[in-house]
Amino acid sequence: MKVYMATDMEGASGIAQELMTFADQARYQEGRRALTGDINAAVRGARAGGADEVFVSDGHGACGGYNVIFEDCEPGAVYGLGSPGMRYLDGCDEDAELAFCVAYHAKAGAFPAILDHTQSSRSIMDISVNGRVLGELGLTAACCGDLGVPIGLVTGDDAVCAEARELFGDIVTAQVKVARSRTCAHCMAPADARALIEAKAREAVERAGDFEPFVIAGPVTMRVQYLRTEMAQRWRGRADAEMLDGRTVEFEAANVLEAMNIYAGYA
């Protein structure tokens, strides 16, 4: 079985502030260690559950998509590092049987939720597909769904775990912290958090046949609302996109994966 592991950073155990998630901030190296520890636990659990191939995608935007501490990475997996790749969710394809979302966070506007945002905490207000507002969890799952790959595990705070259950139903979640505000959490001790993630990753692989791909039927209309007008500048004048107002763009695509490739600049 091949497991594709999409990773972010804000949902990692022990992370509660942007000081740990931006490369130019004082505690970024602590954030890297936290993320790497959670990923390693998920890799161990996946392997213990029966996965014979694990691909880990470093999906956090800081440091050019290279946030893990490579020398500390768990053996038995391949790690996709750096950016840009060949496409959105590079490394996920139809031969994957299951996907994990590790160290994920809740969508923009969720409260209380640790470091809630969608795609960019500095520039994006909301992203919607066919009128439905989705965060990074929903967008990742829909892209995986277009490839026929279901989500089996989500790790992060209580808000993103609740979002996962709302979107996917009987999903396996590893809740490693409880949000008290955007920048305050009650966190499990590191060893306890990693033990939970490892156990839940194993459970997800063992239950792989229980999960269905999250699919939004195409064609789709994606709407992106930026925080300020200059942040939408790259869309102005494009024949394949419509500016609904000074900071909101809308465009059509065959499916969500194609839409995210357009949004991310791959198409």
Q: The CATH number of the domain where 98 resides is what?
A: 3.40.50.10780
Position 39 scores a pLDDT of 98
Tally of structural domains, the chain: 1
- In 70-189, where does DSSP find H-type helix? 136-146, 158-168
Q: Residue 254 carries which DSSP code?
A: S
Position 64 scores a pLDDT of 87
List pLDDT tens digits, range 185-209.
999 999 999 999 999 999 999 999 9
DSSP-based three-state secondary structure for 190: helix
Cis preceding linkage at 84, omega within 30 = yes
User: Does 250 reside within a domain?
Assistant: no
User: Does 92 reside within a domain?
Assistant: yes
User: Does 228 reside within a domain?
Assistant: no
Position 267 scores a pLDDT of 83
User: Does 261 reside within a domain?
Assistant: no
Q: Containing domain of residue 22, as a range?
A: 2-119+135-210
User: Does 232 reside within a domain?
Assistant: no
User: Does 102 reside within a domain?
Assistant: yes
Mean pLDDT of 162-180: 97
Report how far residue 3's alpha carbon sits from residue 183's, in angstroms, rounded to the nearest whole number.
Answer: 31
List pLDDT tens digits, range 38-94.
999 999 999 999 999 999 999 998 888 999 999 999 999 999 999 999 999 999 999
> pTM of this prediction?
0.96
User: Does 245 reside within a domain?
Assistant: no
User: Does 234 reside within a domain?
Assistant: no
Sheet of strand 248-253: strand arrangement: 132-133, 124-129, 220-226, 248-253, 241-245
Query: Do residues 92 and 99 lie in contact, with contact meaning Cβ atoms separated by under 8 Å?
Result: yes
